[in-house]
A and B are shown apart, each in its own frame.
Chain A
Amino acid sequence: EAGVAQSPRYKIIEKRQSVAFWCNPISGHATLYWYQQILGQGPKLLIQFQNNGVVDDSQLPKDRFSAERLKGVDSTLKIQPAKLEDSAVYLCASKQGQFYLNTEAFFGQGTRLTVV
């Protein structure tokens, strides 16, 4: 079974530029998450989708971050404009079935963003 695919793996941008990350979840997984992991910390949830609908985006900085999951499969996360404090690894995860089920989440390798 193919895992969660993310691209790019690494990205370096200057502050105030924009950047986009792409995620392809495991086939058939209805729930998709985007997490931000700053060096030395645990992952922090940014947004959670159920199919193409948003379940939770309470911790997404909506003035600069946006995410979509058109057609309930692939997802993109965008930052515009980027700040230095956005330097982190952005992790995508997916899980089978409804978001409220007791099932494990599968994570991609992440995109390491460096803002200079």
Chain B
Amino acid sequence: SQQGEEDPQALSIQEGENATMNCSYKTSINNLQWYRQNSGRGLVHLILIRSNEREKHSGRLRVTLDTSKKSSSLLITASRAADTASYFCATAYTLAGGTSYGKLTFGQGTILTVHP
């Protein structure tokens, strides 16, 4: 299966600390995306990193991609209570010739709890 797997399954931290979540996948990808889900806003796209990129930043978010290890990490710096949510990685895998199939396959997610 192409499905990514997030680690850890659950993470509990204090406000102000950093949170790191990892994602591993099985086959070659075209891009990897991170999404956040909470009860109030549904699934929200955070960041997309292409297979030829190694690191990407967006505000307090930093994503790395290691295609040799088939893994990615999401770092949230200076976490806030509002960051409490489930975080999912989703992969879009390549067809022969390097074209993304476009089918987004999600992992099981990491539940992040940030205590005030």
| Interface range, A side | 20 to 34
If the complex has contacts A43-B88, A102-B92, A104-B33, are A91 and B43 also in contact, measured as CB distance less than 8 A? yes
Is the beta-carbon distance between B100 and A102 smaller than 8 angstroms? Answer: yes
Task: Output the residue of A91, A100, A101, A103 with the most chain B CB within 10 A.
Answer: A100
Pair count A-B, CB < 8 A: 62
22 contacts between A and B (CB under 8 A): A35-B106, A42-B3, A42-B88, A42-B106, A42-B109, A43-B106, A45-B105, A48-B102, A91-B43, A93-B43, A98-B102, A99-B102, A101-B100, A101-B102, A102-B100, A103-B48, A104-B33, A106-B45, A107-B42, A107-B43, A107-B44, A110-B42
Give Cα distance in the complex from A55 to B102, angstroms.
9
Known A56-B103, A107-B43, A110-B42; 16 more pairs at CB < 8 Å:
A42-B88, A43-B106, A45-B103, A45-B105, A55-B102, A91-B43, A93-B104, A98-B102, A99-B103, A100-B95, A100-B102, A101-B100, A101-B102, A104-B33, A104-B48, A107-B44
On chain B, the residues within 8 Å of A91 by CB distance are 42-43
Q: Hey, which chain A residues are within 8 Å of B100, CB to CB?
A: 100-102
- Residues of B80-112 whose CB lies within 8 A of A: 88, 92, 95, 99-109
**Ranked 8 nearest A-B pairs via Cβ:** A99-B102, A42-B106, A107-B43, A104-B45, A109-B42, A100-B102, A43-B106, A102-B31
> For the complex, what is the distance from the CA of A37 to the CA of B25, rounded to whole Å?
20
* Chain B interface residues toward A at CB < 8 A: 3, 30-31, 33, 35, 41-45, 48, 50, 88, 92, 95, 99-109
Q: In the complex, how many angstroms separate the beta carbon of A110 from the nearest chain B beta carbon?
A: 6
Whose C-beta in chain B lies nearest to the C-beta of A3? Answer: B42
A109 vs B41: C-alpha distance when bound (angstroms) = 7
**Bound Cα distance from A44 to B108, whole angstroms:** 10
Spell out A's residues near B (CB within 8 Å). Answer: 31, 33, 35, 41-45, 48, 55-56, 91, 93, 98-110
A100 to B101, CA, bound (A): 5
